[in-house]
Structure 1
Amino acid sequence: MAVGEQVWPRMHPIAGLTLGTAAAGVKHPNRADIVVMAAAEGSTVSGVFTQNAFCAAPVTVGRQHIDRGDVRYLLINSGNANACTGERGLADAERCCDALAKLAHDELGTAIVPRQVVPFSTGVIGEYLPVDKIIAALPQALQTLSLDGWSAAGRAIMTTDTRPKGASVQFEHDGEVISVTGIAKGAGMIRPNMATMLAYIATDAVVAQPLLDSILKRAADQSFNRISIDGDTSTNDACILIATGQAGFPMLSAPVGELYNKLLAAVCDVHRQLALAIVRDGEGATKCIGVRVEQGSTKDECLKVAYAIAHSPLVKTALFASDPNWGRIVCAIGYAGVPSLDTSQVNVYLDDVCIVSAGERAASYTEAQGQAVVDHAEFTVRVELGRGHSCEQIWTSDLSHDYVTINAEYRS
């Protein structure tokens, strides 16, 4: 179940980045569950990772390898998270990197070392990685490397997702075309505290490492860090931004100028599209809801209110039932932790329908008006706090019977 129709976009190839897939049988036999991404020499790679203290082994190894620079390959497996697996988990992640580095050297003639491979895993927590199966599938993944491998890769990284998630945009600058393309996976255990479950975005622009880091953080904060399905931050979250440097422009090294502004807008656009695709495919989701909090004194208190609404089981179940039970919304606003909140200044809207005015039921509001909004698959809950000029928006989904079923049966 997912919100809206699936429309796989046209995925513009990124010069200098190829993708290959293979079936290793990590969890399901005969299903592609391994992805290899190969970046051209000279590419810059940035990453943001989960802040969960129980971060998975590939997160620990991946951070270390990206910090050393000169990344050439990404290796992703679905079906097993390699999380809470101790020293063996770390060794298993490194062993996979070693194997891919050797194969890339022997079969493709690429002179790389294991630290130039970054591992990623997603799936069940607490089980050891089937390293031998993954290594056995690597030759097939390398043989299928292609500029057009985005669709296959998008499917291979799925776990409880019902559909792959991709986004791609292009823009022109001085007569040249620059592309930004990405894929993501995620449907549950989603309240990212850095980025998202797994997301990979690439551009052919030429970007210096410090600026790429800055662009990624800004894009992630306004997209993946503004979504929540169930309030849980995964052990394996990772978001990667690659700049292959194949476009015919001088290197961008400072956050100024027309080219920078165009690139930032395109990268943020792709991030936002992927983040919303995750919400629309939330486990058991039937609705995609924006929660926008305005007139806060700080961004932090706006986010507190937004997440209080988004995480309330009472709000989420009412939305699943298409029940305009606005009392649950104001209840969440009241316990969000905003200091000295003057409720007489608070207004609440469902889209443009005012349901609460000056802290009480709006005189003009009718149940039919609210019902007409919540019957839609997508709408926005908007809150005015009347305290200042800060504003934040997040996106979330409803809570359905299917969410419980999916997570109750996840390991079966």
Structure 2
Amino acid sequence: MTLIASINIMKKLSSKNIVSPKGFKASGIHCGLKHKKKDLAVLVSEVPASVAGVFTTNAVQAAPLKVTKEVVYTTKKMQAMIVNSGNANACTGKQRAKDAQTMQALMAEKLCIEANLVGVCSTGVIGEMMNMEPVANGINQLAPKDSLESAIDFAQAILTTDTVMKNTSYSTIVDGKEVIIAGVAKGSGMIEPNMATMLGFITTDANIESDVLQATLSDITNLTFNAITVDGDTSTNDTVVIMANGLAGNEALTPAHPDWQNFYYTLKTVAQDLAKMIAKDGEGATKLIEVEVEGAFSDEEARKIAKTVVGSPLVKTAVFGCDANWGRIIAAVGYSGAKVDPDKITIQIGGTTMVENGEPVPFSEDELIRILKMNEVKIYVSLGMGEGKGHAWGCDLTYDYVQINASYRS
């Protein structure tokens, strides 16, 4: 089936919640790690699900990652994910491992399942001891349901400095059956992932083995979650996990399956939606910036250039200030490390050409200011050197970003 046919057979769901696929339930509550807001959540599948995950490449990793990696890479099945916000459970010595394992064991006991089927995620302040009493009490209070309200509770409980929830869901057709893929994420700062984002959870009722799912998620991550940047910092807790419980009843999916493109494109769209929402909700951000690069030597080099441009502090501040300073864009292209010929570079902002084949082109400052005032700004770069294409997403850099991060622990 062609890519166009796959797009046509995919449908965006209005409910946009993590329990849209068959057999998933969720819950989120305030347990006391934060002052008032929800801070403890659980996502549960009725049956053990195939699982895949991608994680931070930071050498300093929080204890929950090690617990979850064991489930993903060794058990290769997951039935529940317990998540807390307000404390990262990172860099707190030997106690952090005990706390993560305790969360895993308590959640397994609550659900009457094996502990090695439970993943653990934490997000929040690094270097502070986890207060386990409210966590233990909170786990007992969690009551997973398959309702929209419960899905919203989950989405709220995983947030830190986010200003909005990040949810999306789509359906497609596999073997004549409806397959649903849904996602929820949190992320607003410390977004410069390699093989992950802050926290992302994807559910599907598709039937697919864990090894195939892992290869697929890793590939899609390079095109989506790895194509965003807010501030160039990689967290100690970055995680994306997908659970596929098979309750849609389709034949097992592989790249050889006739409906493989339906599944792949839908999963990629879910991941891209979440990635763009994270970039748009960067701490203090007012605008989403998209950079599209064409004509590079390879797709990899195109993505490198796109991410360098969108991650440039000078480009980000220029977009914030509505300054059509294309010199900052071409400078970022030049220091990206990719092969470029300055005499072949063309640059556009919002469809307005500013540089063509290395030569400045007259443009209307008033028109560019109008474009740069929009909530979403697109920068296009053509290199004229090959067939490589790539995208990246980020946000502007504002006064509020400094204020938020100057008092994060306050």
Q: Same fold (TM over 0.5)?
A: yes
| Corresponding residue of 2:318 | 318
Structure 2, unaligned runs of 5 or more:
1-12
| Distance in 2 of aligned mates of 1:82 and 1:337 | 36
Q: Does 1:180 align with 2:187?
A: no
**Deviation per residue, 1:343-395 (Å, 9 max, x gap):** 11111111221101121211x42323322321222121111112211111100
Secondary structure in 2 matching 1:369:
helix
1:230 shift after superposition = 0.9
Query: TM-score, normalised on structure 1?
Result: 0.91
Could you tell me which of 68, 89, 103 is aligned with 1:62? 68
How many residues matched?
395
Q: Does 1:190 align with 2:191?
A: yes
| Distance in 2 of aligned mates of 1:268 and 1:338 | 26
| Corresponding residue of 2:343 | 344
Corresponding letter in the other structure for 2:65: V
| Distance in 2 of aligned mates of 1:309 and 1:83 | 31
| Distance in 1 of aligned mates of 2:116 and 2:369 | 56
Change (3 A) 1:44 1:174: closer
**Deviation per residue, 1:25-49 (Å, 9 max, x gap):** 11224x3211111122241111111
| Corresponding residue of 2:25 | 18
1:289 shift after superposition = 0.9
Which residues in structure 2 correspond to 1:215-234 (within 5 Å)? 215-234=216-235
| Distance in 1 of aligned mates of 2:57 and 2:166 | 23
Deviates more, 1:91-100 or 1:325-334: 325-334
Secondary structure in 2 matching 1:184:
strand
Q: Contact 1:183–1:199 (CA<8 Å) still a contact in 2?
A: yes
Corresponding letter in the other structure for 1:389: E
Corresponding letter in the other structure for 2:49: S
Which residues in structure 2 correspond to 1:8-407 (within 5 Å)? 9-11=15-17, 13-29=20-36, 31-69=37-75, 70-105=77-112, 112-141=113-142, 143-148=143-148, 149-252=150-253, 254-339=254-339, 341-362=340-361, 364-407=362-405
Secondary structure in 1 matching 2:292:
strand
| Distance in 2 of aligned mates of 1:175 and 1:360 | 54
Deviates more, 1:117-126 or 1:323-332: 323-332
Corresponding letter in the other structure for 1:409: S
Change (3 A) 1:272 1:204: same
1:266 shift after superposition = 1.2
**Deviation per residue, 1:286-313 (Å, 9 max, x gap):** 1111111111112333233223222222
Secondary structure in 2 matching 1:189:
coil
| Distance in 1 of aligned mates of 2:257 and 2:116 | 34
Q: Contact 1:19–1:36 (CA<8 Å) still a contact in 2?
A: yes
Corresponding letter in the other structure for 1:115: N
Q: Contact 1:206–1:244 (CA<8 Å) still a contact in 2?
A: yes
Change (3 A) 1:209 1:283: same
Deviates more, 1:288-297 or 1:215-224: 215-224
**Deviation per residue, 1:58-112 (Å, 9 max, x gap):** 111210122222322111000100111232111110111111222222xxxxxx2
Deviates more, 1:291-300 or 1:43-52: 291-300
| Distance in 1 of aligned mates of 2:154 and 2:115 | 22
Q: Percent identity?
A: 37
Corresponding letter in the other structure for 1:346: I
Query: TM-score, normalised on structure 2?
Result: 0.92
Q: CA RMSD in A?
A: 1.8
| Distance in 1 of aligned mates of 2:16 and 2:190 | 28
| Distance in 2 of aligned mates of 1:302 and 1:175 | 37
Secondary structure in 2 matching 1:72:
strand
**Deviation per residue, 1:165-185 (Å, 9 max, x gap):** 100111234542211111100
Corresponding letter in the other structure for 1:259: D
| Corresponding residue of 1:108 | none
| Distance in 2 of aligned mates of 1:187 and 1:8 | 24
Secondary structure in 2 matching 1:261:
helix
| Distance in 1 of aligned mates of 2:206 and 2:123 | 29
